[in-house]
Amino acid sequence: MLQTNLKHINSTEEFNKFIEENENTMISCGRMGPMCLPVYDIMEELESDGKYENVKFADMEFDIPDAHVIRNAPMCAGFMGLPFTGYYKKGEMVKATTSIQNVDQITKILDEEF
């Protein structure tokens, strides 16, 4: 399990429920590595500061079998670096990024998509 303060998604069923029940979601699928940790930290900060209360944040461990829902998403085709981060609106992936992202890159996507 990932050691973050984010909601942990551990199965395809939890993933589907999360993106269906929440209009705007950001899910980062990775490991506890140097490219992933900054993304998790930014997500935790954005979640706690309340500026993006219309967005629900979660993580998913890259190596679990059910992470195929993000690993194999069409927008993630060709991604090489972790984490794979998916942005979902009304249950559909609207944007995906790979590798480390900074706060400006993440908030730009949140502002544009949600």
Q: What is the pLDDT of residue 97?
A: 98
1 within domain boundaries: no
How does pLDDT run across 12-39, given as a tens digit for each residue?
Answer: 999 999 999 999 999 999 999 999 999 9
29, 84 contact by CB (below 8 A): yes
Mean of per-residue pLDDT scores for the chain: 97
Helix (H, G, I), strand (E, B) or coil at 56: strand
CATH number of the CATH domain containing 92? 3.40.30.10
80 within domain boundaries: yes
Number of domains in the chain: 1
Indicate if the pLDDT at residue 1 is higher than 90. Answer: no
Count of residues making up the chain = 114
Q: Give the integer Cα–Cα distance in Å for 61 and 23.
A: 22
Closest CA to 15 of 28, 2, 3: 28
Q: pTM for this one?
A: 0.97
| Domain range enclosing 74 | 7-113
2 within domain boundaries: no
